[in-house]
Amino acid sequence: MTDQDLLQRYNYDEFVPEKFEQWMRFDESPLPGSPAPDFPLWKMEDQSETRLSAIWSAHTFTIVEFGSFT
């Protein structure tokens, strides 16, 4: 599967279970209160790379939003 195929599947055209349920994998998520896995991130202003661990070490609280909310 190419990145374009994945984007097309993720950006579905209607909100019906058969199109969004494949993305609902909460059982694979860290439990509330447990440490989040570290991974690379890119800054929006200049696209420079950082890591989640660099963000959370600089702030007492960190909120990370994944996906889209409509």
Q: Where are the domains of the chain?
A: 3-58
Span 29-56, pLDDT tens digits: 888 888 888 999 888 889 999 999 998 8
CA distance 37 to 52: 8
Task: For the chain, give the mean pLDDT.
Answer: 83
Instruction: Determine the pLDDT at residue 54.
Output: 92
* Residue 12, token pair as written in the block: 């579905």
H helices of the chain, where? 3-10, 17-20, 52-58
Q: What percent of the chain stands above pLDDT 90?
A: 16
CA distance 33 to 3: 32
